[in-house]
Structure 1
């Protein structure tokens, strides 16, 4: 297993704990409850779950984004070539780890003693984290946009027909939903910062946070999406759906696909799979061709990446 696989498993474990605390709020006193309708002991429960959830959210996003960037490095940078894309990914991974580590520590040590974060009657001192909260949301959105744009830049620079570029680009465009969730979370975070009804205002922040984390897991799974349709029971489901919708008869091209969607490609041969440096995308093959050119200040090397479909 690769490093990104361990990161995703760790993120799933932390995400499960996050959902446990969200479920605790849903059970008592409930989400979208106005503060004046909540007993103080229940309000303390909300603030406690918010404090723990904030730390867990930062952990999940940090782990998943690092896994996504490592995946992009594996797919779009053949043989770890030190090109502009590779350095961009390395810088993003470094910033991602440092930024979320600092944010998690700030959440943990927001108040001294820490109990004062959720129980305001506890003697102690707290730092004002409102400005940092908004800045963190803005940086998080910027990070999402960059991660969304990285594969698109590579895909649209490949020598493929426009229809194939659109198809591959669409697979990696799931990140748009992550950006939408990040924007919504930023908007509601600003409202929460200025709201006196914390119990109510924190609810949409939590909902959009779940959406953002869920979309991050979907992005991680994009390179493995074609493999899903090779699972026998998945093929059976598509065949069953086709029979219900009046699919084509035997012997046609559609029936030979056993009910699979039109964009599904057959599994590559063993020889092709061995030569494929981009094994995460089974239906396409990326080949790296090395090109030498002579700039003004000397001779340098540059990698030219091309993608060829096996059905072109």
Structure 2
């Protein structure tokens, strides 16, 4: 029996984590370029990425001691260190399943503006999921008395029955997968009621529904829960370990995808950098506070002709476009003559530029058109 899953464990865990970190970097770039600040969901994503990295470090150490090899081929020291570092890797690894869900809930709360009751339901489900995952990992660590007896074979062992651990792990995995599916289907249902093109509805539903993939991975991982009772712990228990890494990183990626839409502007050769000038201050709206009185407000300057908008909802700015208005001499003289006749002409006024600002308030389901503008940039 010379099978060794160690190299595969390291390759899978670090490959998916590297991919997730690429998406997290893109997310933070968009926040800096477009919004100039981080939102609450960004902090949850950063925390999730840190947990994924720490979990991979512990996993790599466990592989060094023998994780992925058959338990009977290891020395006593290798057995003890393998179990210790495997358990250590599970602690931050399992948290990567819960923290990104809180980020998705915070993001959907800004975009979909759910009712107060539904918002409470979403956060309750997210908190229950995180508490279930935390309870599972704490039970895994404290299953023996004393806890150190889990990996120190010289101590007397008084541990929980494996069936208890399997039941708790199955509940936590099922809860995590269910919430992934719910957070993937909920936006699609809401988007279908908005006045958008079918192409945009499909695109946004796909972007916000990537959690469906991680939910499927969660189901696959849940089927491996019975391996917790396997006597070949270093060989069989490594499967749920790298599946946990895959699922957690996929959830992080799914939570980042909806925020990366402004990168399409860069791909098209346009600038997305946040500007302090009034001409671009409303290019990307901030809907981070859905409880504010002006929620769902869209400001559109009408000092220029109607702006063109591409398929993704971004404003297309023509070259040389500016808010400065130069009055042609013939039009200026005609305007001056008209004002002299009406008695309102004032030579000191010079060139007067007027702008009309339209404010459209989003009334939830009653105003699907203005609600759709929230999806131009997340």
Using the TM superposition, give the Cα deviation of residue 83 of structure 1 relative to its aligned residue in structure 2, in angstroms.
5.2
- Counterpart CA distance in 2 for 1:48 and 1:152 is 43
- Counterpart CA distance in 2 for 1:183 and 1:73 is 26
Q: Does 1:103 align with 2:136?
A: yes
Structure 1: give runs of 5+ residues left out of the alignment.
Answer: 236-256, 292-301
Instruction: Specify the alignment match of 2:82 in structure 1.
Output: 46
Instruction: Specify the alignment match of 1:122 in structure 2.
Output: 155
| Pair 1:71–1:278, CA change in 2 (3 A) | farther
Q: Does 1:202 align with 2:237?
A: yes
| Pair 1:93–1:278, CA change in 2 (3 A) | farther
Paired residues, what number? 264
The normalised TM-score by structure 1 is 0.72
Q: Does 1:2 align with 2:39?
A: yes
Which residue, out of 227, 235, 258, partners 1:223?
Answer: 258
- Counterpart CA distance in 2 for 1:110 and 1:288 is 55
Instruction: Specify the alignment match of 1:244 in structure 2.
Output: none
| Pair 1:30–1:126, CA change in 2 (3 A) | closer
| Pair 1:163–1:229, CA change in 2 (3 A) | closer
Using the TM superposition, give the Cα deviation of residue 230 of structure 1 relative to its aligned residue in structure 2, in angstroms.
4.1
Instruction: Specify the alignment match of 1:28 in structure 2.
Output: 65
User: Matches of residues 1-312 of structure 1 in structure 2 within 5 Å?
Assistant: 1-31=38-68, 33-77=69-113, 81-82=115-116, 84=118, 86-128=119-161, 129-190=165-226, 192-231=227-266, 235=267, 257-258=268-269, 270-274=281-285, 277=296, 283-284=312-313, 289-290=362-363, 304-305=367-368, 306-307=371-372
The normalised TM-score by structure 2 is 0.61
Structure 2: give runs of 5+ residues left out of the alignment.
Answer: 1-37, 288-295, 299-310, 315-359
| Pair 1:147–1:18, CA change in 2 (3 A) | same
- Counterpart CA distance in 2 for 1:278 and 1:126 is 58
Higher relative contact order (CA 8 A, sep 6+): 2
| Pair 1:206–1:100, CA change in 2 (3 A) | closer
The Cα offsets for residues 199-242 of structure 1, whole Å up to 9 and x where unpaired, read as 211222112111111112112212221123445xxx4xxxxxxx
- Counterpart CA distance in 1 for 2:361 and 2:297 is 10
Instruction: Specify the alignment match of 1:253 in structure 2.
Output: none
- Counterpart CA distance in 2 for 1:125 and 1:147 is 40
**Rg larger in structure:** 2
Q: Which has the higher strand share?
A: 1
